[in-house]
Amino acid sequence: MENSTIAATATPGGRGGIGIIKISGSKALSIASAIFTPAESTSLSVPAPPVAGGPGPADAIKSHRLHYGHIVDPESRRVLDEVLLSVMKAPRSYTCEDVVEINTHGGHASVRAILDLVLRQGARLAEPGEFTRRAFINGRIDLTQAEAVIDVINARTEKSLHLAAAQIRGTLRRSVEEIRDSLISLLTRTEASIDFPDDVEELLEPEAVTAEIDADVIGPLQDLIQKYTDGHVLRDGLKVGVVGRPNVGKSSLLNCMVQKERAIVTELPGTTRDTIEEATTVDGVPIILFDTAGMHETVDPIEQIGISKTVENVNGADLVLFVIEADHPPTVDDHQIYEQFKHKPMLLVVNKIDLVDPEVAEAVPTEWRFAKSVRISALYGRGINSLKKEILATVIGDNPIDIESGIVPNLRQKSILENSLAAAHAIRSEVNSDIAMELIAIHAQEAIDSLGQILGTNVKVDVLDQIFSQFCIGK
């Protein structure tokens, strides 16, 4: 266990109904005793035994209760605020350490003053994610569950929340543990056959072992990797870049999709100079839309910077919406934009259909290849629902995301799963090629160690630093 006692504000800064200051560590109870005055003398403590050297007031604080009273600065005797204080003694707490939470009136000054007082009493300010990191270090949760805490905090839709909540309950952990157990069993038998070569036939009969690796290791690993591909957009959001010539209606489309006047729209070409990002939700899937500077040949240095930013941002998107005008045949600039992004999944969005005869289909160059083309009027909000449907269909396909299983690995976990899969394939080919048992053992150990990095059993400190730095302070 860590020795230092940490403290932080657990609620967002600014004005609010309540603000919560969280303290965790061996001094949490004594700090609480020093600064909290219960409204009734009996509410914080049971009477302390009068034995010299016996337990002090902190030991006598009742756990898993809410205590009503005031925070009083012990030096100045000044009352800082009226509060509710909750106490959760180790190990039955979030961090498995003594935890105290002070519920104060939300407001910058009150929360700040109490946190300062707590720090003056010997706590130190918590690092981002340090409470959750302690829950992990102290063995209450594994690393998949710790990472799911970030996902819960970041969840933008009910579906994303459902996935994160399932992962906190340990769905991914259980799948990974099952695969690891199979590998451990294989490793044990491999090591036994190294020690007792006469029993190899019986311990590692190639056909049976191959079938076993396929069913218990390779299949489940492939399944988990596929689940990332199918479902990561629910957690990470779908990045959709809107590109096109100046004035085709990209900003109008963004505004229409997010239903607010987010980007400036004018009849002047070159209105949008910078990439504008806005989030929305389609059918429970978070979508992050990027409106971009109109692309064309230009000598204007500001526009040129905007255009190179467009290319950079849109290259990182999951899907490109290429907007053209229904009332203009494609221009040289349109062709160049198509060439620039044709390597990406792309939808053609024909805008301004209100300006053309609905019976006449616009000319689209035959060499242009798109997942689909959708006709819209961003000005009048026509075709937007079909466009939303096509966005999801293009990226997710016809199969709805299986959120019931509750398992979608994140990018870190997925690349570890891929390493484990490579090691599992290596075991499979060794088993079938009569090569030394030692090599099978090495690959099995490799796969076991990889999976341990998902669970956090053998993960490096810098990886942990990187994971927990994504948290907010106070979690």
Ligand X SMILES: Nc1nc2c(ncn2[C@@H]2O[C@H](COP(=O)(O)OP(=O)(O)OP(=O)(O)O)[C@@H](O)[C@H]2O)c(=O)[nH]1
Interface residues with ligand X (CB under 6 A)?
Answer: 244, 246-252, 265-267, 269-272, 294, 351-352, 354-355, 377-379
Q: How far is the CB of 370 from Mg ion (least distance, A)?
A: 22
149 vs 323 by CB, closer to ligand X: 323
**What's the one-letter identity of residue 144?**
T
The residue count for binding Mg ion (CB under 5 A) is: 4
- Which residues, in sequence order, are CB contacts of 240 under 8 Å at separation 6+? 287, 288, 289, 290, 317, 318, 319, 320, 321, 391
Question: What tokens were used for 457?
Answer: 């059993």
- The answer to whether 287 touches 254, Cβ cutoff 8 Å, is no
Q: How far is the CB of 271 from Mg ion (least distance, A)?
A: 5
The partner in contact with residue 247, picked from Mg ion, ligand X, none with C-beta cut-offs of 5 to 8 angstroms by kind, is ligand X
Name which of residues 307 to 366 contact Mg ion (CB under 5 A): none
Which residue's CB is nearer to ligand X, number 35 or number 349?
349
**Tokens (6 digits) for 108:** 């910058």
Pairing of strands 319-325, 276-282: unpaired
Radius of gyration of the chain (CA): 30
| Residue placing its CB nearer to Mg ion in the complex, 158 or 327 | 327
Q: Could you tell me the two tokens for 209?
A: 């072992």
Rounded-to-integer distance, Cα 475 and Cα 6, Å: 11
Q: Is 272 in the site for Mg ion (CB under 5 A)?
A: yes
> Which phi and psi angles does 392 have, rounded to 5°?
-65, -45
> What interhelical angle do 171-195 and 206-213 show, nearest 10?
160
Interaction partner, residue 378 (ligand X, Mg ion, none; CB < 5-8 Å by kind): ligand X
Distance (Å, rounded) from C-alpha 89 to C-alpha 49? 19
**Residue 249 touches which of ligand X, Mg ion, none (CB < 5 to 8 A by kind)?**
ligand X
Nearer to ligand X (CB atom), residue 267 or residue 462? 267
The burial class, CB within 10 Å (0-12 / 13-18 / 19+), for 116 is middle
Closest approach, Cβ 352 to ligand X, in A, equals 4
| Tokens matching residue 466 | 């990187």
Minimum distance, C-beta of residue 349 to ligand X, in the bound complex (Å): 10
- Rounded (10°) angle between helices 411-431 and 219-236: 170
Q: Closest CB to ligand X among 352 and 443?
A: 352
Q: Coil, strand or helix: which one is 155?
A: coil
What is the DSSP code string of 88-135? E-TTSSSSSS-EEEEEEE-SHHHHHHHHHHHHHTT-EEPPBTHHHHHH
Give me the least distance between CB of 287 and Mg ion, in Å please. 18
Nearer to ligand X, 75 or 267 (CB): 267
- By CB under 5 A, name the one of 43, 63, 271, 405 that touches Mg ion: 271
Count of Cβ atoms closer than 10 Å to residue 367 Cβ: 8
Give yes or no for residue 5 binding Mg ion (CB under 5 A): no
CB of 372 to ligand X, least distance (A): 19
Which partner from the list Mg ion, ligand X, none does 427 bind, CB cut-off 5 to 8 Å by kind?
none
Which listed range, 20-28, 190-198, 251-259, 430-438, lies at the site for Mg ion (CB under 5 A)? 251-259
Rounded to whole angstroms, how far apart are CA atoms 322 and 338?
Answer: 8
Q: Which is nearer to ligand X, 141 or 248 (CB)?
A: 248
**Among positions 103, 182, 251, 394, the unique one binding Mg ion when judged by CB under 5 A:** 251
Q: Other CB atoms closer than 10 Å to residue 158's CB: what's the count?
A: 10
- Which single residue is written with the structure tokens 């200051």? 21
Q: Which does 388 bind (CB under 5 to 8 A by kind): ligand X, Mg ion, none?
A: none
Least distance (Å) from ligand X to the CB of residue 347? 16
Quote the least distance from Cβ 390 to ligand X, whole Å: 17
Selection from ligand X, Mg ion, none that 86 binds (CB < 5 to 8 A by kind) is: none
Residue 107: alpha-carbon gap to chain centroid: 29
Q: Decide whether 180 or 352 has the Cβ nearer to ligand X.
A: 352
Contact 233, 396 (CB under 8 A): yes
State which residue, 37 or 271, has the beta carbon closest to Mg ion: 271
Provide, rounded to whole angstroms, the least separation between the CB of residue 262 and ligand X.
11
Residue nearest to ligand X as judged by C-beta position = 294
Give whichever of 354 and 418 is closer to ligand X, judged by the CB atom.
Answer: 354
Q: Which entry of ligand X, Mg ion, none binds 354, CB below 5 to 8 A by partner kind?
A: ligand X
**Of 145-153, 271-279, 366-374, 430-438: span binding Mg ion (CB under 5 A):** 271-279
Chain centroid, CA 275 distance in Å: 23
In the complex, least distance from residue 251 CB atom to ligand X, rounded to whole angstroms: 3
In a 10 Å sphere around its CB, with 0-12 CB exposed, 13-18 middle and 19+ buried, how is residue 26 labelled? middle
Q: Nearer to ligand X by C-beta: 205 or 261? A: 261
From Mg ion, ligand X, none, which one binds at residue 410 (CB under 5 to 8 Å depending on kind)? none
Closest to ligand X by CB, 268 vs 461, is 268
Alpha-carbon span 16 to 279, nearest angstrom: 24
The values of phi and psi at residue 435, to 5°, are: -85, 170
- Output the smallest distance, CB 241 to ligand X, in A: 13
Rounded to a whole number of angstroms, the minimum distance from the CB of residue 251 to Mg ion is: 3
Judged by the rule CB under 5 A, the positions of this chain that interact with Mg ion are 250-251, 271-272
